[in-house]
Amino acid sequence: MDNELSNDMRVVLKQKKPLCNWIPARYALTFLSFSGIFIVYALRANLSVTLVAMLNNTALETNETILEECPVIHPLNDSSYQYEKDGEFVWDENIQGLILGAFFYGYCITQLPGGVLADRFNAKWIFGGGIFVTAVLSLLTPVAARHSVEAFIVVRVLEGLGEGVTFPSLFSLLSHWTPIQERSTLTGITGSGANLGMVITLPVSALLCEYGFDGGWPSVFYVFGFCGVIWFLFWSLLVTNTPESHPRISEEELIYIQQNRHAISSSSSHQKQAIPWRAILTSRPVWAVALTKCCASWGFYTLFTELPNYFNSVLHSPIKRNGFENSAMYLAQTISVVIFGVAADCIRARSQLKITHIRKLFETTGLLLTGLCLIAVPLLRCNHVGILSVLILSMVFLAITTGGDTPVPLDLAPAYAGAVMGIVNTVTNCSGIFAPMVAGALTEHAETVEHWGTVFYLSGGICVVGAFIFLLFGSSDLQPWAVPLDIADDTQPIVSEENNENLPKV
């Protein structure tokens, strides 16, 4: 039983020496997971800024951007302003879109296999191994780019394959470690590593492009690839797959986790049970959260991949300023993610609202406000400060969904969180493929306010659609098919929401 420890287990626990009594093991795991997600996004985000420095804009004579449409931020007679040096590559908007989207081809392929492997075997090594492989490929990126654009695209696809396993395996890992009372908070903190990764990566990448070694831009891939390898060493030594196997966890914390997580088998027997694929693939809540996250990700990936180019080509923001402006948006989101994650857990603990209602409140509010902000961007035309302010607000509002869709795979099926997250993330990250391709097609040879306006209108509209999908069809109820057989047949009560009347009565 999860909430009963054998005498042998108690003896073992009494012999364990906590590494630090005031740092619970689940918080140490949260920090290392946060750091891992930081590396994940650092390895994928650096290209959006670095690509600007890699391009030879002088040679791209087919670009029809009108310089006078939006004023240059620094007057040409200001000695502090210089046009950035041209890069090495002549790639038009369509090729740039293919390069930016290439990562997501691989990323989508390994989502589901990563989740299945994590649920059946060891989520710790799936998560850590995915990041390690991506870090090594980052170190090889400059060589591939200088060889050919095809080789560059292949490396980006392979990086996507490596990172594709990370989020499904992480959710599988968290399903064992997170008490339901802390689920929004811990997943929110872990997820905020993505935002902080971009906050730091974007300006650092910009500075490395200008002052780094080997021509500037290659140093970006070397530095972050090396950081990924170092992180993997700490992850390998300090993390375990379950609380039960942790050598330093206290007895009190282990009991607390076991008593307050959703129904997950205390043995390894559920790993041998067949994953209920038919039930998962025909589950309305699973598809609702997948489509909702896909809509939210369309807006996110449009900003993530295309915003540095928009700031550079339309608003004429120099690359150093470009990096800091982008990072300001993600800094605001990082802070907001933690705030809204805690807020969702507080509402859950102190109100009579059902968890599904809380998730819908946060998700719908966040996506509607994000969509309105994106729609407002083209209306501001060349108002640089106004556009940046609205984009910062859009990221703050997008962070509200931390209390919405982020923990839903754990809510729906903690025992199969990896498989569910694999399906959800496969659908979600299709937007990572198509968003940059659509933006590239809409702005090809005409990077003007009007053409970019179409990109923002489309992204905002898709976010609004996602809000209504989750409002109408979303759910966070623990699903009947998600209860492992050895739990369903047990005599202890299942931790579930009060509205899960259709669960097996035990």
Can you give the pLDDT at residue 76? 39
Classify residue 139 by burial, with Cβ atoms within 10 Å: 0-12, 13-18, 19+: middle
d(CA 101, CA 98): 5
Q: At 449, list the tokens.
A: 């306010």
Diameter over CA atoms, the chain: 79
Q: What sign has the CA pseudo-torsion 70, 76, 79, 83?
A: positive
Cα 331 to chain centroid distance, Å, stands at 15
Phi-psi category of residue 216: left, alpha or beta, with phi > 0 → left and psi -120 to 50 → alpha:
left
Backbone angles phi, psi at 89, to 5 degrees: -120, 145
- In Å, what is the CA distance from 42 to each residue of 18, 120, 286? 32, 29, 29
Can you give the pLDDT at residue 120? 78
Can you give the pLDDT at residue 228? 93
d(CA 295, CA 289): 10
Catalogue the E-assigned strands of 165-298.
none
- The interaxial angle of helices 384-399 and 319-350, nearest 10 deg, is 30
Q: Which residues of the chain have pLDDT under 70?
A: 1-21, 56-68, 71-87, 262-273, 319-320, 322-323, 445-446, 484-506
Can you give the pLDDT at residue 86? 67
* Number of helical (H) and strand (E) elements in the chain, helices listed first: 20, 0
Residues facing residue 55 across a β-bridge: 89
Q: Is this model's pTM higher than 0.85 or not?
A: no
